[in-house]
Amino acid sequence: MNLLKNSKVSVVAVAVATSVGVAAVSAASSSAAVSPRSSTVSAASFTNNFSAMKALKSVSAAGTGSIDEILPDTTSSTRYTEFDTPDFNKAAAAAGLPSSDYKSQNAGGSDSTFITDAKADITAGAKVLLIDPEDSGTGIQVENYAASHGVKVIDYDRLDIGSNAPADPYVSFNNVEVGTLIGKGFVSCAASWLKGQTPNVIVMHGSPTDNNATLFSEGYMGVLDPLFKSGKYKEAANTAGTWNPTSPSPDALDEFKSAYTAHPTANSALIPNDENGAPIITYLQSKGVKPDTFPTTGQDATLTGLDNILSGYQCGTVYKAVYKEAQAAVALAIYYRAGKTPPTGLLNGTTTDPTNHKKVPSVLLSPVWVTPQNMKSTIIADNFVPKSQLCAGTYAKDCTKYGI
């Protein structure tokens, strides 16, 4: 299924969005935080020491009720447990919220659990929910229930398309740009690794029910489609899409095996995230594929993905500094909790809902493509993954090779 052909999504951000996030992580990490005397933050305020959140203590003190986060699962990406939950907690604490006024939950891949958690949170006094459901239908149920109880909802990381809830905002990275980085990273890597061979690509996707997957596909197919049409590249296969790496079926590994068996001359794969890529890379290794010969891609800068990059089995990964996203979402929630209008510098863009064409006020952050050449100045400099973990065991020699 070619998600690009079914996508009419557009992301519109004001100029500041291009300077936000991790496009230059080393610069962002050292950028000046907002003065604690000020109660105003912008999308560019957030650093990895969480100091900008201190500026919101007076706003926190003006609000009541809790801010509760509900995350989707623990399998589609390790980021939810390794970064989103702890960064949410750090941001809330730094902003002066008492521990009784915030919590992060994970629905474990269950839509019914997600909805039950949301209803329980509202019953217990939540004023703002940050939600990241696996599908928009679940999110819309939560948003409608919340609206009927006077509770504000923030779409965290992915947009719940088709929602008619009043002006629920969206906090995420520019996901079309995420896909564009994946596509451009693949092209650069294919030119280096395939040494003149025509790329014969298995194109993979995330779940077709996830709007983020549609946006990612819009980005990378925007890069690849012209190459396919010109004949410079061949499209070996285009899979239906899933965020299940290995189970339950249908899963990414099964999709890849089926495509690879049907197209044994395929010599590369565009894969939308590290988790889906990991079992595929293990499978390719079992088939005797050597390093730096079969380009694959990823997203989320997981430890496994980074190690696969260092060892020459993955071209790169899209790094999304979750600490920025978590702080932006908590900051937005703190304003809503206090009944205050968020500053325009925080809501720095809009996203068009492809179903109802509503322009959703958004915080849009910028991602960065990570390879061995910039891993030290991004992942390590940001302490996203400690050097001691990245360079452990057999990967120590790879770190030395790339000056990490």
One domain, residues 240 and 383: yes
pLDDT digits (tens, 9 = 90+) for 249-292: 889 999 999 999 999 999 999 999 999 999 999 999 999 999 99
Q: List Cβ neighbours of 392 (8 Å cut-off, separation of 6 or more).
A: none
* pTM score of the predicted model: 0.80
Per run of 10 residues, the mean pLDDT along the chain (length 404 residues) is 36 34 32 42 93 97 98 90 96 98 97 98 98 94 95 95 82 95 98 97 95 95 98 98 92 98 98 98 98 98 97 97 97 97 93 90 95 96 93 97 96
Domain assignment present for 11: no
Q: In whole angstroms, what is the distance from residue 305 CA to residue 379 CA?
A: 12
Q: How far is CA 251 from CA 78, 226, 376, in A?
A: 17, 28, 33
Domain assignment present for 344: yes
The pLDDT value recorded for residue 39 is 53
One domain, residues 103 and 37: yes
The pLDDT value recorded for residue 346 is 95
One domain, residues 93 and 200: no
One domain, residues 161 and 189: no
Concatenating the DSSP letter of every residue in 357-376 gives: --EEEEEEE--EEE-TTTTI
Instruction: Answer yes or no: are the C-beta atoms of 64 and 339 closer than 8 Å.
Output: no
Greatest distance between any 2 Cα atoms in the chain: 63
Domain assignment present for 166: yes
One domain, residues 220 and 311: yes
pLDDT digits (tens, 9 = 90+) for 66-94: 999 999 999 888 889 999 999 999 999 99
- The candidate with the shortest Cα–Cα distance to 78, out of 238, 267, 317, is 317
Domain assignment present for 298: yes
One domain, residues 199 and 302: yes
Domain assignment present for 246: yes
Q: Provide the domain limits for residue 297.
A: 176-319+370-401
One domain, residues 226 and 344: no
Domain assignment present for 5: no
Question: What's the total number of domains in the chain?
Answer: 2
One domain, residues 181 and 271: yes
- CATH for 292: 3.40.50.2300
Q: List Cβ neighbours of 140 (8 Å cut-off, separation of 6 or more).
A: 160, 162, 163, 164, 165
Domain assignment present for 244: yes
Q: Kindly report the CA angle at 241 between 351 and 353, in degrees rounded to 5?
A: 15
One domain, residues 168 and 180: no
One domain, residues 314 and 328: no
One domain, residues 377 and 315: yes
Give the end-to-end CA distance of the chain in Å, rounded to a whole number. 40
